[in-house]
Every structure is written in structure tokens, then in C-alpha cells.
């Protein structure tokens, strides 16, 4: 798909994998709208990149806020790309050491953002993209979701996180099949251990140990590599209905 001059919406775009995606798409001539709850970081990134890059403060779990963001993203050029990077993670075992059960409200919170938030953006973006003029092969656009290798290799304490990301993996193919009628592709990336702001809170020794555990390359993933994969997915029209592990061949141990 030709993406130069198209518009994109990137959730969680103010930092981490989302920020790297915003930078890569903007460099490719895409009009990017950053959706994030962190207005300070989002506005600073939009100002830095300039051009047609915009920021909107919104919560992916709120339908009205996402609808406004989708409309804003498609104001200047046809919306053809939506990338779901917004997400949260917690560590909580199925039962605690004292035998108490996993807190259900915490489980709902993770599912609400990582899974329901993804569905909210996916469906609303797809609705807008379906109304654009088709390109070659009657293609209208692509939606890229972010899962995690925890969907397959969930570790101790990742009950909620793995369940939410497993849901994103599971919806990829049916969404792609549903949207094939209107020329919209759906692809999910399942990243491994990446050098994001969350990991930056760890001591360097711990970060080095995480990187050394990856078969190859023996380092943490660079967010720019995630952004590059999003760019490739957007431009390669045959990529559809697939979940791509971006993990250096890592298979997570139990803990």
C-alpha cells in the first residue's frame, strides 16, 4: 500500500513502541495523529516532529474520545493506518502466597485497556477507513495491533496481562476476515523484551541480564525496530491476518 500522504492514528504514541511508530510513519510522509493520555509527552512529540503530526489526549477505553480522535486523524488526508500501542502490565499471581485470589478489579482493568481498548480503536478506525476511496487491489488501509509474546509464554504473575494479549492474538484472524470485504488488513505484532521507558526503571545490570537471555541478537529490542516493522506491514499488502513475533527467538521461562 502506498502510505505517503495517508493519515495514521497511533495509540500510546507518546512514548515507547508507540513513539517509535509515530517517528517512523512521520518520516515516511504519513500524517500522524498521536493518541495518548500523557498530554505533556504527546504535545512535545507533535511539536518536535511538526508538519502534519497532531496530538489528541484520549482514553482508548472511551468510545466518544476515540471517535473524536479518529475523526481528527482523518481531517487532512484519508485515514488508512491505525496502530494500537496503548497498554498496561501488572504482576499478580493467580493466588497470592497467603492463598488470597487474584483481585478481579485489577484483572478487569488490564483487560479493559489492553483488549477492550484495542477493540474500541480497531472497530472505530475500521469504520472510518471503510469509507475512504480504495487504492490498488481495492485496498483501503491496515490496522496493526500490539500483543506480546506473553500471549504464548506467559510468566508467573502475568495472568491478566497474558489473557489480555492472548485476546488480541485471537481476534486478529477473524477481524482480518471480517474486514476483507472492505479492503482493510489486520496484523498483530507480538514483541518480546524491548528497551522501553518501563524497562528503563530497572538497574543497568538487570537490563543487561534480560538482553543476554535473548538468543539473537543478545540485547533488548530497539523500539525503532518495532516502528520499522509497522512501516513494513503497512506497505506490504500481502501481510494480513497474521501475528508476527518480534522477539529475537526468545521463549520466556516461567519466571
The per-residue pLDDT for range 36-86, each reduced to its tens digit, is: 999 999 999 999 999 999 999 999 999 999 999 999 999 989 999 999 999
In this structure, what DSSP letter does residue 9 have?
A: E
Q: How deeply is 244 buried, as exposed, middle or buried, from its count of CB atoms within 10 A (0-12, 13-18, 19+)?
A: middle
Choose among 187, 10, 197, 171: nearest CA to 89.
Answer: 197
Give CA angle at 167 (19, 11), nearest 5°.
20
The residue-averaged pLDDT of 175-202 equals 92
The per-residue pLDDT for range 22-36, each reduced to its tens digit, is: 999 999 999 999 999
DSSP SS3 for 93: coil
Largest CA distance in the chain: 60
Give CA angle at 66 (62, 67), nearest 5°.
115
Q: What length is written for the chain?
A: 255
The per-residue pLDDT for range 98-120, each reduced to its tens digit, is: 999 999 999 999 999 999 999 99
Contact 11, 36 (CB under 8 A): yes
**Domains recognised in the chain with CATH numbers:** 7-195+222-246 (3.40.50.720)
Q: How deeply is 77 buried, as exposed, middle or buried, from its count of CB atoms within 10 A (0-12, 13-18, 19+)?
A: middle
In this prediction, residue 240 carries a pLDDT of 98
Determine the Cα–Cα distance for residues 86 and 226; give it in Å rounded to an integer. Answer: 14
In this structure, what DSSP letter does residue 92 have?
A: B
Annotated catalytic residue within 46, 146, 150, 161:
161
Confidence of residue 156 (pLDDT cuts 50, 70, 90): very high
Q: Which whole-number Å values give the CA distances from 255 to 104, 111, 147, 155, 182, in the listed order?
A: 22, 22, 19, 5, 43
Q: Is 161 a catalytic residue?
A: yes
The residue-averaged pLDDT of 154-177 equals 97
Q: With a cut of 90, say whether residue 199 has pLDDT above it.
A: no
The residue-averaged pLDDT of 12-21 equals 97
Q: Which whole-number Å values give the CA distances from 61 to 24, 54, 112, 128, 231, in the listed order?
A: 26, 20, 7, 18, 25
| Portion of the chain with pLDDT greater than 70, in percent | 100
Amino acid at each position: 500500500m502506498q502510505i505517503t500522504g495517508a493519515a495514521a492514528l497511533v495509540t500510546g504514541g507518546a512514548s515507547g513502541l508507540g513513539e517509535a511508530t509515530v517517528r517512523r510513519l512521520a518520516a515516511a510522509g504519513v500524517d500522524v495523529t498521536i493518541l495518548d493520555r500523557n498530554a505533556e509527552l504527546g504535545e512535545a512529540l507533535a511539536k518536535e516532529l511538526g508538519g502534519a503530526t497532531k496530538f489528541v489526549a484520549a482514553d482508548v477505553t472511551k468510545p466518544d474520545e476515540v471517535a473524536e480522535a479518529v475523526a481528527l486523524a482523518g481531517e487532512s488526508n484519508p485515514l488508512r493506518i491505525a496502530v494500537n500501542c496503548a497498554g498496561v502490565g501488572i504482576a499478580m499471581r493467580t493466588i497470592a502466597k497467603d492463598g488470597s485470589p487474584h483481585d478481579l478489579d485489577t484483572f478487569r482493568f488490564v483487560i479493559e485497556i489492553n483488549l477492550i481498548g484495542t477493540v474500541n480503536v480497531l472497530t472505530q478506525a475500521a469504520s472510518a477507513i471503510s469509507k475512504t476511496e480504495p487504492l490498488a487491489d481495492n485496498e483501503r488501509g491496515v490496522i496493526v495491533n500490539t500483543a506480546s509474546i506473553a500471549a504464548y509464554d506467559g510468566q508467573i504473575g502475568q495472568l491478566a496481562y497474558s489473557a489480555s494479549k492472548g485476546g488480541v492474538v485471537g481476534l486478529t484472524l477473524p477481524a482480518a476476515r471480517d474486514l476483507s470485504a472492505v479492503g482493510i488488513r489486520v496484523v498483530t505484532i507480538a514483541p518480546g523484551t524491548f528497551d522501553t521507558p518501563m524497562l528503563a526503571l530497572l538497574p543497568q545490570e538487570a537490563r543487561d541480564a534480560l538482553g543476554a537471555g535473548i538468543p539473537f541478537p543478545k540485547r533488548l529490542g530497539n523500539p525503532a525496530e518495532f516502528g520499522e516493522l509497522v512501516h513494513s506491514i503497512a506497505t506490504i499488502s500481502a501481510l494480513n491476518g497474521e501475528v508476527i513475533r518480534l522477539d529475537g527467538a526468545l521463549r520466556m521461562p516461567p519466571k
